Amino acid sequence: MSRASKLTLLGTSLFAVTTVVFVHFQQKFEKEAMHQGVVRDMEQQRIKRERQLDFDMQKALEEEYKKGQTVSQSAIDIPNKALPNR
């Protein structure tokens, strides 16, 4: 084989190996990034569930407290301006 053909074979082989290694590491990096995204999404869902449970508990407590209170609706509807000044 001539020197030019040997250099061409070496260059193309080196390019092919470099491409395979680059693609391998690129896929590994993307897979790790996707995994981190899944972990982040799961954490956000957990926080959302906790907040919803807190909201539901607060709503239940509010309903329980409202049952025990006797506030007339007419006193709530009167704006402050309509009350006579004494």
pLDDT of residue 8: 96
| Rounded-to-5 percentages of helix, strand, coil across the chain | 85, 0, 15
Mean pLDDT of 50-71: 90
What does the pLDDT look like over 5-22, one tens digit per residue?
999 999 999 999 999 999
The span from the CA of 74 to the CA of 61, in Å, is: 24
The span from the CA of 14 to the CA of 8, in Å, is: 10
What does the pLDDT look like over 19-44, one tens digit per residue?
999 999 999 999 999 999 999 999 99
Q: What is the pTM assigned to this prediction? A: 0.50
pLDDT of residue 77: 60
Residue 78 has pLDDT above 80, yes or no: no
Q: What is the CA radius of gyration of the chain?
A: 35
Phi-psi region for residue 54, left (φ > 0), alpha (ψ -120 to 50) or beta?
alpha
